[in-house]
Structure 1
Amino acid sequence: PHIGNWELYNAFYAQTVGQLTALFKPPKQKAMARIIERVRMRYGNQMVPTTPRGLARLFKVLKQGGTVAVLPDQVPEVGLFVPFFGQAAFTDRLAHRLALKSGATPVLVALIRNARGRFDVHYQRVPDLGQEDEVMALTALNAAVEALVRQYPTQYQWEYKRFKKQPTGLQDPYQGLREI
């Protein structure tokens, strides 16, 4: 999720465990996309685009016993509304589909800065994410992310507009707010 330093975790994982294949939505600026990809891939990790071909690659990597990474709190094009901090949050179905179809054990990971200025790795299994019922699975996912955020609220990217998409009839809660 958008908590802690996931960019540093990419390097940590590659150097201590092995290759990580991560979903990557390139920014609109092509030069910036190349820089980000180069930094993320320099330790041997693979980046796949948010395209049907890229998604197929994630499933293939899991089927071959590899490790994939997605940020489950991205606001998707297609998803379901399930609770997050007591509010309806439009939630991506990808993590559920990956867990369900691959049988892999889903794990939330966060690299959290500690009081000494160093980082601690936090792993939290989310076994209910692999269950058949999609609403229950995504609710379990959001509950796990929420628990992590409650534990380390200062390290969550609150500026990320998690509630921008709202159920029909409800207004965008960010509308009218000024950027700081």
Structure 2
Amino acid sequence: MPSLFRLFSLLPLGLLHGLGAAMGWLVFALSGTYRQRFLDNARQAGYRFGEIAAAVGHAGRLVAELPRLWLRPELPHCEMIEPERVERAWAQGRGIVFLTPHLGCFELSVQAAAQRWGPKYGPITILYRPARQAWLARVMETVRNRPGVQAVPTTLSGVRQMIKALRRGEAVGLLPDQVPPEGQGLWSPFFGRDAYTMTLAARLVQQTGAIVIVARCERRSWGRGYVMHFEELPLPLSDSLETAVLQLNQAMEQVIRQSPSQYLWGYARYKQPRAEQPAAQVAP
């Protein structure tokens, strides 16, 4: 597998996306569980299959592009739309919490932002959970700490490092629609159905006064690169944790609706959280 992974990293992005799209449709056809979850989640959000069928191929593209993003030193072309929104946030010196759902090429979001703003404002800190496979864990340990990106463990120590980074005026990055372990989230509506939602993003903002920037990195067709959009929250986060978590869920819904054909509808967003020691809570 490591040799194949490296071989894929050498292929042109367009070819990777073509292979990935085929793989996405193959998995969709063969896995009844995945297919049903995909259709159920899309229906919950109000979409018919014909409206978001392209998301099947994009799920495969997400997997196929990882070797290229992880193992090649140069990043593919990524145009940034309205980066001045991020510049305004940096100017306030309060730190930035970058949030992106499982949409488009979220793996590139942090890398592209770090490449552009890391030299001036410091690294973007992200949480990191090692992979179970030894070879993949070695690969991820290297790629998660690319220039401008600081990966910290999903422990209380790692969360404290994120808080310190924000208080230094730096940035952190999170996937707020990722289902957290039991004890680290709240049940909150997501597309009209309660989903177990992380509290970490809201707590980081409430405790440090950081600014939230919602990012989405969309794939262009035929391997022509990516385009990244930045948005600010329409209103400041509430001091109420429950309300703040709902606000972030609503912000994720809004950004997903802007590009529903690139969202991972097959992600098990409504699953029960796994039981785990709640180590990654925000602490002073």
Does TM-score exceed 0.5, indicating one fold? yes
Distance 2:248 2:146 in 1: 30
Deviation, structure 1 residue 37: 2.6
Instruction: Give me the identity figure in percent.
Output: 40
Q: What letter corresponds to residue 81 of structure 1 in structure 2?
A: W
> Does the C-alpha gap of structure 1 residues 33 and 130 become closer, same or farther in structure 2, counting only changes over 3 Å?
farther
Q: Is the 8 A contact 1:103 1:130 kept in 2?
A: no
Matched, 1:67 2:174: no
SS of alignment partner, residue 271 of structure 2: coil
Q: What is the total number of aligned residue pairs between the two structures?
A: 166
The residue number in structure 2 matching 1:169 is: none
Partner letter of residue 6 of structure 1?
F
Amino acid in the other structure paired with 1:24 = Y
CA distance in 2 between counterparts of 1:24 and 1:112 reads 23
1:6 to 72, 82, 106: 106
Conserved? CA contact 2:176–2:198, under 8 Å: yes
TM-score normalised per structure 1: 0.85
Q: Once the two structures are superposed, what CA deviation does each residue of 1:49-94 show, in whole Å capped at 9, x if it has no partner?
A: 1111101110010011110011111111221111111100110000
Query: Going by fraction, where is helix more abundant, 1 or 2?
Result: 2
Distance 1:63 1:22 in 2: 15
Structure 2 unaligned blocks of 5 or more:
1-100, 274-284
Corresponding residue of 1:120 = 227
**Structure-1 separation of matches of 2:132 and 2:159:** 20
Structure of larger gyration radius: 2
Alignment check: 8 A CA contact 2:128 2:144 kept: no
Q: Helix, strand or coil: the match of 1:8?
A: helix
Structure 1 residue 39 corresponds to structure 2 residue 139 = no
Letter in 2 for 1:159: G
2: CA distance between counterparts of 1:71 and 1:4? 12
Within 2, Cα distance between the matches of 1:23 and 1:126?
Answer: 22
1:22 aligns with 2:22: no
Could you tell me which runs of 5 or more consecutive residues in structure 1 were left unpaired when the two chains were aligned.
167-180
Between 1 and 2, higher relative CO (CA 8 Å, sep ≥ 6) is seen in 2
Which letter does structure 2 place at the counterpart of 1:48?
A: V
Moved more, 155-164 or 96-105: 155-164
Query: Are the aligned partners of 1:89 and 1:162 in contact in 2 as well (CA < 8 Å)?
Result: yes
